[in-house]
Each structure stands twice: as C-alpha cells, then as structure tokens.
Amino acid sequence: MKRIQKMSPHLSNKIAAGEVIESPASVIKELVENSIDANSTQIQVEIEGGGRRSLKISDNGDGIHPDDIPLIFERHATSKLLKDEDLSHIASLGFRGEALASIAAVSKVQLLSRVMALPTGFKIQLLRGETFHQETIAANPGTTLIIEDLFYNLPGRKKFLKSEKSLNRDIHEVMNHFALSHPDIQFNYVNEGRLIFNTPGGNDLPGVIYTLYGRELFEHLLAFETQIGDVQITGYASDLGYYRGNRSLQYLFVNRRYVENRILLDSLNEAYRALIPGHKFPVFFLYLSVDPGVVDVNVHPSKLVVKIEGEEGIGLELSGTFREELYRKESHSRGVIAKEPTPPANAPREISTETIQPPLYDQLSLKETRGVKERQEIQTLSRHILDRNQEAARDKYQVFRNLNYVGQVLGTYLIFEKERAVFFIDQHAAHEKILYEGFMKRYATDSLDSQGLVTPEILGLSHEEIRLIENRMQDFSRFGYDLEIFGPSDLLVRGIPSLFTLDQAKTLLVELLDNYRQEDYRYEKLTEEAIIQHSCKKAIKGNSRIEPLEVEKLLEDLMTLEDPLTCPHGRPLIVELSSRELEKIFYRIQR
Ligand SMILES: Nc1ncnc2c1ncn2[C@@H]1O[C@H](COP(=O)(O)OP(=O)(O)O)[C@@H](O)[C@H]1O
Ligand SMILES: [Mg+2]
C-alpha cells in the first residue's frame, strides 16, 4: 500500500466539500471503505447505542505504518489520491483524506494498527482530534478503530439525530450495501452483542444474498448477464412470483460501489410494469462495470448519487431486455412445467439472452397478475367492460346506470345486478379513483392548499439540501409547503400541503429533494405519483363495511369521472360476470 501524503491545496479545494460525518452510519461507511481500500478480506463491525455510544471496526488489511501516525488524522492527508488527473478516475473508495480528521474532531478515538512488515503495532488515543496517548503493542496485522461518544461535543447535532432504532436501520442498510458490493470480503456485523450477519466471503454473491435476505427471496431470483455498449451488467432480479411493498430491495452497484441512480432503477421497474401488481416492486441486485471515466461520483459529498454517461440509453435498453426475459420466463411456466425445481443453494437459475415476442396480453391494461392462471381469469371477467369501452367509447358511464345494489362481499366488493349480468365494484379502487381525479383537478387549476402548523417543525438537513430547497422555493409553495431557511442546515416548516399528514409531508419533502437532485426530474410526474399515493392511503380500505347510501354516492361520483373504469394504477374497478359466464362456471352450457 502507498504511504500517506498531503494533497496540494489546489487539489483539495477541487474536491466537493461537505459534511462527511452526518451520522453513525456515515462514520461506518467511511471506516469500512478505508478497510476495503486497505485490501482487507475480513471486516468486523460492532455497534452499541445506535453507533452513538460506540462503533468498532476491525480489519485484517495492510495496516498503517507507524511513521504515518502524525498524518493519519490530518485533513486532506491520504495515501490514495495524489495527482489532479486521479480525480476523474477514482478507483479506490475513499478519496478525500478527511474522514478520519472529521470523525476524530467529534468523538473519542482509539486506533490500533500493525503492518505485516513490522513485528509490533501501535495504539493511539485521541480526544477532540488531539492525541493524548500512544504506545507500542503486540497485534495481528490490520487495523482496529474504536469510536466512542460520537458527537459528544456537538450537542446541537446530537439533538437532531434520529432515534436509536432508525440509526440502527441506517447502519444495517450501509452494512448490506458493503456485503453486497464486496462479496469477496467476509463481513461480520454485530449490534449490541448480537450477530446480525456473517457473510461467507470468497466472492460468493449468491451466498451473501441468501445470508442477508433468506431463502424465500433467494428462490425467486433470476441471474442475468449482459453487455450494453461498453457497460458490463450482471446481477440477480426477482421473478414475477415475488415482489415487495417498496423499493428498498433495489440495489445498484457501479464498479463495486453502492450508488443511487434513479434513471437506471426506474427503467428496471418499468420492465416489470403490468407484470406484477401496481404498487409492488421487484427486487434487484444490479452490478454495472464501467470505465471510471464515464462515472461522475463527485456529485454529492456522501458519494451516493452518480451520473453515468449515456444512462438514458442504457436504461432503455436494459428495460427492454429485461422485459423480454420476463415474458420468456412467464411463457415457459405456462407450458408443461408448472412448478420449477428448487435451485440448489448458491446457484440461482440462469436466464439466457435469447428473445421472444411479447404475448398479446401486454396490450391489455390489466395489472393484477400474480400467476398466469389468475391473470386469464381476470382477463375474461373484465374484458367485456374494457372492450366495450375501448371499441365503442360511446358511453363510458353506461355500465354504472341502473345498477341494483345487492350487497357487499368479503368486506371489499360491492355486488350489483343489472339485466342478465352481475357486476362487481372494488370499493377501495373506486374511492381511490374519485379522490385522485378530484385532487388532480384541483392541482391543475391552482396550487394545493396549505395547512399551517401550530408549532413549526425544525428539520435538520444537509447544506446541500438546504440549498436545493432555496432554489426550489416556488415549487415547494405550489405544492402547499410553507418553508423558511433557518440557517445553513436547518429548515423551518411552517405549513404543509393539507392533503398530507405531517409525517407524509416530511417524507414527501425528502422525496422531492431526492428528485430535484436529478437534473431531469419531472415535477408533474412526481406530483401525480404523490397524489396517487395519497388517494390510495386516504380511500376507504378494502375490508370495511359500507352503507347503501354510501354506495349510491359512490356510483354517483363515479359517473362524474373522466375515466370511471380503471383505478389510478390502471386496474379495472368494475368487473362484469354475465349470466352466460355463470352458466359456463356451473357447466349448464359447454363453451
Ligand atoms: N483501516 C485502515 N487500514 C489501513 N490504512 C488506513 C485505514 N484507515 C485509514 N487508513 C489510512 O489513513 C488515511 C486517511 O484516511 P481517511 O481520512 O479516511 O482518508 P482517505 O480514505 O480519503 O484517504 C488513508 O489514506 C489510509 O492511508
Ligand atoms: Mg477514507
């Protein structure tokens, strides 16, 4: 390993400044990155008190030479990046030479290290960045850092830190990222003395996924490998029989670094659209290998958000390839083999790259599809309504006229009779659609209402986020936020969109920020998504009783809608079962 040197001030100024150390999770991120950079094959992380009380990171890497001791905790002292040109070709993870300095300034630090070449190691202890103890010790090669009482001298920061539970959640996520991005390293993660995971190492990525997420998910994974232009893409993705309620299991790694890139993730989600239920999300572990020169990692101080040259094109092609693969899988399982054999551990199924034509049902806007059989049933039942509407488009309200309410079943479906048919309305979907169109109309005509908070909330954000908000103040107020910048890292929230609860409004604010970080975000699309989500949460839940009077009102409202036939996610909200179909079900007639 190279020895530590100070960078030129010219270079250090070039590097995105910013608070590296925002939370225990970010400390762990920096320290584990250091261990990785030091060629470790085993890294152990031990946490107490959400990382605020203590953090211990031990590795079996190259170690630090005792002659470098005076430089370790110096700002901009690094062994990793010394020439200006290096900045555009960053291969190692750390590159700012300020992590240890920043951490030492806000905590009590002990550092133990030994290089292989020397018979002994050293231990130093620091407080407020000043060394107060140093000794020679016997130790195995490698480095251990113990950080205690993080932010002890920054009471302000401590106050804005999240609950221990959410600190642990963030740390866990950071550890997941490392385990997934470095299957060659054996990670051992212990929290409050409890082993959380111990990955196998030895480049066994399937083994890592199995260790982190268990068998259920593992058995639904498809392996893939493809090349788009100069970008090598490999990874695992869930098949159509497995999905999650949010995007949290959608991972992207570029050159073995966990990153966020909406464009690529969105395009992968797009590949599953209409193949799994709306509001559900596939799982993927996507690994891109690209020339470091085409990745801009310096976008954000936390080094998470990257831009990749040509990412739109890559996303499009990736989405297309994926969709074909998924169709292919789907059409196979419709054949003789109803159930595929369980793959042996550590060997997810391969999918080849040959392509097939998407089946016709892609043209139908039916989204609820757990299995093919179920899909076909839904298709038969709702075809009448959608077809009738599509070809004729004469009177989309016709179906709702003169419906005779029979009752509610399963606490969710309203049953009606008319002429020689039975009609089912999904009460949740119907109500959701009514709310949705209402909101959209209000939003289109003017801005959303704001609701003042009795006690304004102070949100602690990063400098960069505060700057973003400052630049987007108009967008936020159009949305119904009443915000005031209260310092370099504090935001005063005086009012929130009246559509939302405070918690939702805070989440949305952060989501908006994430989106604004991308240059090509689409404000309108985002707004629509937020409104869909909100309508969904606010709508009458499935599984609740409804009075006949409310049913009447629901029908009336449906007849005022622009599009009364599908829910905001595109699923049918009314389904018809003709007497003929009933007769078929009872075999009173043949086909
Ligand atoms: N676990 C470790 N093993 C070996 N060397 C380390 C380790 N942690 C830190 N170092 C040394 O300390 C230097 C400073 O670390 P840091 O402040 O994180 O800056 P950077 O990682 O950007 O160089 C590193 O360049 C490296 O030489
Ligand atoms: Mg570092």
Pocket test of ligand 1: the residue of 78, 86, 107, 143 to mutate, having most ligand atoms within 8 Å of its CB, is: 78
Q: Does residue 579 or residue 544 have the better pLDDT?
A: 579
Quick one: which H or E segment has residue 582? Answer: helix 579-585
Rg (Cα) of the chain, in Å, rounded?
28
**In this structure, is residue 360 part of a structural domain?**
no
What are the structure tokens assigned to 375, written together? 């899909």
Angle between helices 523-538 and 502-516 (to 10 degrees): 160
403 & 263 share domain: no
Q: CA 406, CA 425: separation in Å to the nearest integer?
A: 12
For ligand 1, atom 19, the nearest C-alpha belongs to 97
pLDDT computed for residue 370 by the predictor? 32
Average pLDDT, the chain: 77
Question: pLDDT at residue 286 above 90?
Answer: yes
pLDDT computed for residue 378 by the predictor? 38
User: Ligand 2 centre from 95 Cα, in Å?
Assistant: 6
* Residue 569, domain extent: 365-448+499-591
Q: CA 425, CA 409: separation in Å to the nearest integer?
A: 10
Q: Does residue 439 or residue 552 have the better pLDDT?
A: 552
Question: pLDDT at residue 155 above 80?
Answer: no
- Residue 5 identity (one-letter amino acid): Q
Question: pLDDT at residue 462 above 80?
Answer: no
**Pairing, β 450-460 against β 221-228:** unpaired
pLDDT computed for residue 331 by the predictor? 53
Q: CA 152, CA 159: separation in Å to the nearest integer?
A: 11
Question: pLDDT at residue 202 above 90?
Answer: yes
340 & 391 share domain: no
**Pairing, β 284-289 against β 231-238:** antiparallel
**In this structure, is residue 487 part of a structural domain?**
no
The region that residue 192 occupies, defined by phi over 0 for left and psi between -120 and 50 for alpha, beta otherwise, is left
CB 576 within 8 A of CB 385: yes
pLDDT computed for residue 338 by the predictor? 29
Question: pLDDT at residue 87 above 60?
Answer: no
- Residue 490 identity (one-letter amino acid): D
Rounded average pLDDT over 430-448: 77
Rounded average pLDDT over 427-438: 85
Rounded average pLDDT over 299-321: 79
189 & 265 share domain: no
CATH of the domain at 543: 3.30.1540.20
pLDDT computed for residue 337 by the predictor? 28
**In this structure, is residue 421 part of a structural domain?**
yes
Query: Which of 172, 198, 224 is the endpoint of a domain?
Result: 198
Q: Which of 294-298, 337-341, 491-495 has the lowest mean pLDDT?
A: 337-341
Q: Which atom of ligand 1 is nearest to the CA of 81?
A: 23
pLDDT computed for residue 353 by the predictor? 31
CB 500 within 8 A of CB 508: yes
CB 134 within 8 A of CB 122: yes
User: Ligand 2 centre from 141 Cα, in Å?
Assistant: 19
**In this structure, is residue 418 part of a structural domain?**
yes
User: Ligand 1 centre from 10 Cα, in Å?
Assistant: 21
The region that residue 419 occupies, defined by phi over 0 for left and psi between -120 and 50 for alpha, beta otherwise, is left
pLDDT computed for residue 518 by the predictor? 61
Question: pLDDT at residue 343 above 50?
Answer: no
Q: Does residue 95 or residue 542 have the better pLDDT?
A: 542
Sign of torsion, CA 564 566 570 573?
positive
Rounded average pLDDT over 194-223: 87
User: Ligand 1 centre from 37 Cα, in Å?
Assistant: 8
Question: pLDDT at residue 591 above 50?
Answer: yes
pLDDT computed for residue 20 by the predictor? 54
Q: CA 573, CA 323: separation in Å to the nearest integer?
A: 26
Q: Which of 94-108, 339-353, 387-401, 487-501 has the lowest mean pLDDT?
A: 339-353
pLDDT computed for residue 542 by the predictor? 62
Pocket test of ligand 1: the residue of 4, 5, 34 to mutate, having most ligand atoms within 8 Å of its CB, is: 34
CATH of the domain at 305: 3.30.230.10
**In this structure, is residue 483 part of a structural domain?**
no
pLDDT computed for residue 394 by the predictor? 55
pLDDT tier, 450 (very low <50, low <70, confident <90, very high otherwise):
confident
pLDDT tier, 522 (very low <50, low <70, confident <90, very high otherwise):
low
What is the Cβ-side half-sphere exposure of residue 561, based on CA atoms within 13 angstroms? 29
pLDDT computed for residue 199 by the predictor? 93
pLDDT computed for residue 350 by the predictor? 38
The total number of structural domains in the chain stands at 3
Residues near ligand 1 with C-beta < 6 Å?
4, 30, 34-35, 38, 59, 61-64, 72, 78-80, 94-101, 143
122 & 235 share domain: no
pLDDT computed for residue 447 by the predictor? 67
Q: Which atom of ligand 1 is nearest to the CA of 79?
A: 25
pLDDT tier, 147 (very low <50, low <70, confident <90, very high otherwise):
very high
Tokens 């292919």 found at: 328
**In this structure, is residue 561 part of a structural domain?**
yes
For ligand 1, atom 1, the nearest C-alpha belongs to 35
Q: Which of 483, 277, 251, 283 is nearest to 368 (CA)?
A: 277
100 & 165 share domain: yes
End-to-end Cα spacing for the chain: 76
pLDDT computed for residue 9 by the predictor? 52
Query: Which of 294, 323, 350 is the endpoint of a domain?
Result: 350
For ligand 1, atom 7, the nearest C-alpha belongs to 34
125 & 214 share domain: no
pLDDT tier, 25 (very low <50, low <70, confident <90, very high otherwise):
very high
Task: For residue range 180-195, list pLDDT tens digits in order.
Answer: 999 999 999 999 988 8
Q: CA 436, CA 368: separation in Å to the nearest integer?
A: 19
Q: Which of 108, 119, 117, 95 is nearest to 148 (CA)?
A: 108
Q: Which atom of ligand 1 is nearest to the CA of 57?
A: 1
Hey, what long-range contacts does 162-166 have (CB within 8 A, 24 or more apart)? Answer: 162/23, 163/50, 164/49, 164/50, 164/52, 165/50
* 3-state class (DSSP) for residue 196: strand
**Pairing, β 450-460 against β 490-497:** antiparallel
36 & 78 share domain: yes
138 & 242 share domain: no
Q: CA 217, CA 58: separation in Å to the nearest integer?
A: 30
pLDDT computed for residue 117 by the predictor? 96
Q: Which of 81-85, 102-106, 373-377 has the lowest mean pLDDT?
A: 373-377
**Phi, psi for 172 (deg, rounded to 5):** -55, -45
Q: CA 148, CA 58: separation in Å to the nearest integer?
A: 15
Pocket test of ligand 1: the residue of 11, 32, 37, 106 to mutate, having most ligand atoms within 8 Å of its CB, is: 37
101 & 234 share domain: no
Sign of torsion, CA 54 55 59 64?
negative
338 & 392 share domain: no
pLDDT computed for residue 589 by the predictor? 78
CB 210 within 8 A of CB 218: yes
User: Ligand 1 centre from 63 Cα, in Å?
Assistant: 9
* Percent of the chain surpassing pLDDT 70: 74
DSSP letters along 16-73, please?
Answer: PP--S-SSHHHHHHHHHHHHHHTT-SEEEEEEEGGGTSEEEEEE-S----GGGHHHHT
CB 320 within 8 A of CB 312: no
pLDDT computed for residue 280 by the predictor? 77
CATH of the domain at 53: 3.30.565.10
What are the structure tokens assigned to 371, written together? 């299995």
131 DSSP β-pair partners: 126
User: Ligand 1 centre from 206 Cα, in Å?
Assistant: 30
The residues, any chain, with a CB within 8 Å of residue 118's CB and separated by 6 or more, are: 65, 66
pLDDT tier, 297 (very low <50, low <70, confident <90, very high otherwise):
low
User: Ligand 2 centre from 28 Cα, in Å?
Assistant: 10
**In this structure, is residue 494 part of a structural domain?**
no
Tokens 């509001």 found at: 279
107 & 54 share domain: yes
90 & 186 share domain: yes
For ligand 1, atom 24, the nearest C-alpha belongs to 78
Q: Which of 92, 517, 510, 145 is nearest to 304 (CA)?
A: 517
Highest mean pLDDT among 200-209, 426-435, 538-547, 578-587: 200-209
For 472, other C-beta atoms within 10 Å of its C-beta total 19
**In this structure, is residue 461 part of a structural domain?**
no
Q: Which of 244-253, 379-388, 449-458, 541-550 has the lowest mean pLDDT?
A: 379-388
User: Ligand 2 centre from 142 Cα, in Å?
Assistant: 15
Rounded average pLDDT over 280-309: 78
Query: Which of 198, 232, 249 is the endpoint of a domain?
Result: 198
Question: pLDDT at residue 433 above 70?
Answer: yes
